[in-house]
Amino acid sequence: MEFEKSLVEGNIIKKENYEYLVNQLGDGIPALEVEVLDEVLEIMNEIIEHFHDVDKIVTMEAMGIPLATGLCLRMGIPFNIIRKRQYNLPGEKIIRTSTGYSENFMYINGLNKGDKVVIVDVLLSTGGTLNAVLQALKEKEVEVLGIVIAISKSFDVTKELIKKWDIPIYTLATISIENNSVKVKT
């Protein structure tokens, strides 16, 4: 599996007390190999095909954009990006997000009451960003059919989110960082 190999070959850097995995899929470092992206997109495509009446694929800026773009092209489903930039458009929803190493604001535009979406992203770590996004989408009355994440850093966080939101979450790989190297769990 090229995807798994790319994770093991990633670099670990420290951001304060957070161990951050620099890898092809999420960071483009080293350059994202076509085989890795194609493998991930194929698996995500198979998962998303099981949902019915998906209106849009949704991702958060910036790591998930290559995934959303590839899935849009493969599946013929438009995609929407929750941005880190404010546009002040009518109906814009502002959310505060928290990751393992920073706090930011993100902005939802182009999603409306009744939209049926699937969220895709590269990494689930603490769940801070995803929790904030799910709360905002609930407030906008956007129906999240499912969530597909390439890399999870915690079975526990995934389970907690599933329990809290009652939304299926699919992860392609769960990793742990031990002694400055990546271990892939299945």
CATH of the domain at 114: 3.40.50.2020
Average pLDDT over the chain reads 94
pTM: 0.94
Compute the CA torsion angle 48, 50, 97, 108 (nearest 10 deg): 80
Alpha-helix runs per DSSP H in 76-117: none
Contact between 56 and 75 under an 8 Å Cβ cutoff? The reply is: no
Residue position matching structure tokens 């590839």: 70
Higher pLDDT, 14 or 75: 75
Of 75, 3, 80, 77, residue with least CA distance to 38: 3
Number of independent structural domains in the chain: 1
- Boundaries of domain holding 98: 2-185
Residue 58, Ramachandran bin (φ over 0: left; ψ between -120 and 50: alpha; else beta): beta
Question: Token pair for residue 122?
Answer: 């590269």
CA atoms within 13 A on the CB side of 13: 6
Q: What is the pLDDT of residues 29-65, one digit of tens each?
A: 999 999 999 999 999 999 999 999 999 999 999 899 9
How sure is the predictor about 89, in pLDDT bands with cuts at 50, 70 and 90? Answer: very high
